[in-house]
Amino acid sequence: MRAMIITMPQSHSDSNEIKRPVAPWRIGVDVGGTFTDLVLADSGGEVWVAKVPSVPADPSEGVLAAVQRIAVDLGLPKSEILNKCSLFVHGSTVATNTMLEGKGAKVGLITTEGFRDSLEIRRGLRSDQWNHREPYAPVLVPRFLRRSVAGRIDADGSEYEPLDTSLVNEIVSDFREHGVEAIAIALLNSFVDDTHERQLAELIDEEWVTRSAEVSPLMGEYERTSTAVVNAALSPRIVKYLKSLDTELTSEGLTKPILLVQSNGGAASVEQLASKPVNLLLSGPAAAVGALNLYRRSVDRTFSGEENQGNLISMEIGGTSCDVLLMSKGEVATRDDIDIAGYHVSTPAIDIHTIGAGGGTIAGVDDAGLLFVGPEGAGADPGPACYGSGGTLPTVTDAHLVLGRLRPGKSAGGTLDLDLDKAREAIDIHVAQKLKMSVEEAAAGIIELVEQHLLSAVEHISIERGHSPRKFTLVAAGGAGPMHGSSVAAGLGCARVHVPRDAGALCAIGMLHADVRQDFTRFLLGSLDELPTSEVAEGFNALRERALEVMGHEGFAPAEVSLAYELELHHPGQLWSIRVTVDEGQLDRKAVRSAFEGEYRRLYGHAQDEGTIMISSLRLTARGSTGEVEMASDDRS
């Protein structure tokens, strides 16, 4: 089946039209592993795009270079570009890279007496249950930096044993002697009552202190502890980077504080994220949510009256990786468990699947004589062989160039000069000669294999989640996405492929459409049929008050904040929970049961009619709109 290709016009960055933006404008900057993308949208909905190489050693250099590039393209001073900017949203992989490269701060951990080894014992879970030989990631806090204190909160939130603070000064002094830069506090049952954690934090006179109940108020001692430790490891590095970037942009002319995209797809201020940098681990890819909301409106208008409105699957293929995201009926699923560099983190994040398949993904032949593509990539430096920057290994980009899918010479706004001879040489030496085939055949094999990886990635987030890809429009984005869109869509059975007008800047565009968002959780355990309605109402009221207070600090009045209430539900003994929306926080047991059983049946193919359903927690999501930005070209898509 041939897929219908929907395209959008090019932005001003790719045309000869000379046109100045109309102030005020918005700027979104996405720092990726290979390129830093900047999108400027003016008050009329016109869009300009700038793309510059990322600077992994100092991502802020990439941000400033992108601002300078757009200023040069528009013939305006950098100060004017920033001064007339009403919203500056930034997303970056800097938090993720800090963990991947093991460059986090040195952390000391304080736990409840008898539980100092929980972090190292872990859960015993593995991503591949058959691979028992691969070692776990090194524990972030060695045993000599894990200290414990007496005192305990019971499972019901009562104080079982008073907190003993007599050793706190000694512990902190010991941490200082060993060069500890940040301290994490993770006490037993603090998700029910965090009084003891608060008492410890007040006694510790240090700049970087993380409380587990503050960053992850969820049941699960190991998950909470691991999240607190990761947050502590990120705090000194990430917060200093963000504040430094904010200060530098302000000194250059920016009058508004920058906003950062969080893992949940929403934006937040540096002030709000200063205590929770762990929420930035999926900062860059999560911005795709805003872009999907924009494209959903365009696709739904074009095919109004048809079924499956609001159903999109985005496949963003950049230079380093491919991020796959599914939107069903206008909503993107979120989850609390993500794995970064082998470390468990429990924090609200969009359900996104990432694989090592990008334009810079390296191809080769293994010892068994089989072709492989990925997961290693060439990165921004040296990059693919065709970049002529010292890279000698063949990549997906080199294969596209050999097959004529890319043209040699200047590309990406003149920042790159693609060398066909170097691409052919790399594929010939490392693939074609070893497999005894022509360079063109080897290049075709590289493309075919990487597209199989892409197909599997989309199936993972659609079919394995109970969704049929045939009911979705595939959004082919990222610098390389459009070149693979039709092939992957055909394999999935998707009838339509949507190619955004600025496919290579998907996440930066999404940042312009991101709402300010904060997620709140309250532990509450009981049977759906037996738990008093008053307890549920009391819990939601407490979350509402806290949400309005936090959103007030972000500049939103109560009337400007939209609130979404959810229950986390599961059957007794079930490991994973299902979220069900509760209108206005009012518990309608019959409606909740019906929604739970319907979602359970979609996911697992059956449902336990009238079975016992347990509530595990209350959820509240607060959103504040940053304003609508209607792209001028939407109606022409």
Tell me the CATH number at 587.
3.30.1490
Q: What distance in Å separates the CA atoms of residue 517 and residue 279, rounded to the nearest whole number?
A: 12
At which of 218, 250, 285 does a domain end? 285
> In the chain, pLDDT over 70 holds for what percent of residues?
95
Contact 263, 348 (CB under 8 A): yes
Last residue of a domain, one of 391, 414, 449: 449
25: confidence class by pLDDT, cuts 50, 70, 90: very high
Assess whether 88 and 110 both reside in one domain. Answer: no
What percentage of the chain has pLDDT greater than the value 90?
65
Same domain, 252 and 183: no
According to the model, what pLDDT value does residue 413 have? Answer: 60
pTM above 0.75, yes or no: yes
- How many helices, marked H, and strands, marked E, lie in the chain? 19, 29
Is residue 492 helix, strand or coil? helix
- Do 93 and 127 lie in one domain? The reply is no
Residue 635 banded pLDDT, cuts 50, 70, 90: very low
AA identity, residue 344: H
What pLDDT sits at residue 12?
Answer: 57
| Phi, psi torsion values for 269, nearest 5 degrees | -80, 160
What is the reported pLDDT for 339? 87
User: pLDDT band at 60, cuts 50/70/90?
Assistant: confident
Report in angstroms the alpha-carbon separations of 44 from 10, 47, 99, 514: 16, 9, 40, 18
Nearest one of 95, 515, 633 to 341, comparing CA atoms: 95
pLDDT bin (cut points 50, 70, 90) of residue 414 is low
Q: What is the CA radius of gyration of the chain?
A: 25
Give tens-digit pLDDT for 210-230.
999 999 998 889 999 999 999
The residues facing 335 across adjacent strands are: 349
Domain end position, chosen among 159, 187, 207: 207
Q: Is 338 helix (H, G, I), strand (E, B) or coil?
A: strand
| Owning domain of residue 562 | 516-624
Q: Is residue 398 part of a domain?
A: yes
> Quick one: pLDDT at residue 379?
76
Is there a single domain that holds both residue 90 and residue 124?
A: no
The backbone region for 499, taken as left when phi is positive above 0, alpha when psi lies in -120 to 50, beta otherwise, is: beta
pLDDT of 386 strictly over 70: yes
pLDDT of residue 1: 39
pLDDT at 130: 83
Q: Which domain CATH number covers 73?
A: 3.30.420.40
Give me 631's structure tokens: 């792209």
Q: Is 535 a member of any domain?
A: yes
Residue 524 and residue 595 share a domain: yes
Across the range 35-56, mean pLDDT stands at 88
The answer to whether residue 365 sits within a structural domain is: yes
SS in 3 state form for 138-197? CCCCCHHHEEEECCEECCCCCEEECCCCCCHHHHHHHHHHCCCCEEEEECCCCCCCCHHH
Q: What percent of the residues of the chain are helix, what percent strand, and what percent coil, each to the nearest 5?
A: 40, 25, 35
Pairing between β-strand 361-365 and β-strand 371-377 as defined by DSSP bridges: antiparallel
Instruction: Flag whether 339 is in a domain.
Output: no
Instruction: Examine residue 472 and state whether it is found in any structural domain, yes or no.
Output: no
The H or E element spanning position 589 is: helix 589-604
Residue 5 in this model has a pLDDT that exceeds 60? no
The answer to whether residue 530 scores a pLDDT higher than 70 is: yes
Say what the pLDDT of residue 432 is: 97
| CA distances, 78 to each of 42, 44, 87, 251 (Å) | 16, 21, 16, 11
Q: What is the pLDDT of residue 397?
A: 94
- Tell me: the pLDDT tens digits for 560-588? 999 999 999 999 988 789 999 999 889 99
Residue 34 pLDDT = 73
In a domain, 159, yes or no: yes
**Is the domain of 520 the same as that of 619?**
yes
Angle between the N-to-C axes of helices 439-461 and 481-492, in degrees from 0 to 180, rounded to the nearest 10: 60
* Pair (66, 133) in one structural domain: no
281-290: average pLDDT = 89
pLDDT at 602 exceeding the cut of 60: yes
135: in domain: yes
Q: Is the distance from CB of 503 to CB of 478 less than 8 angstroms?
A: yes
Give the Cα separation of 411 and 423 in Å (integer). 15
Same-domain check for residues 75 and 110: no
* Number of compact structural domains in the chain: 4
The pLDDT, as a whole number, for residue 9 is: 43
382 upstream amide cis, omega within 30 of 0: yes
Task: Write a three-state SS string for 203-254.
Answer: HCCCCCEEEHHHHCCCCCHHHHHHHHHHHHHHHHHHHHHHHHHHHHHHHHCC
pLDDT number for residue 2: 43
Tell me the one-letter amino acid at 146.
Answer: R
- Residue 126 and residue 42 share a domain: no
CA–CA dist 216, 433 (Å, integer): 53
Give 189-212 pLDDT, tens digit per residue.
Answer: 999 999 999 999 999 988 999 999
Q: Domain check: are 61 and 160 in the same one?
A: no
Looking at the fold, whether 35 and 123 belong to one and the same domain comes out as no
Question: Looking at residue 427, what DSSP letter applies?
Answer: H
Cα–Cα dist 148/109, whole Å: 8
Same domain, 10 and 92: yes
pLDDT of residue 10: 47
In a domain, 222, yes or no: no
The string of DSSP codes covering 540-553 is HHHHHHHHHHHHHH
Residue range 233-245: mean pLDDT, rounded: 91
HSE (CB half, 13 Å, CA atoms) of 85?
Answer: 33
pLDDT of residue 631: 64
Average pLDDT for residues 402-428, to the nearest whole number?
A: 87
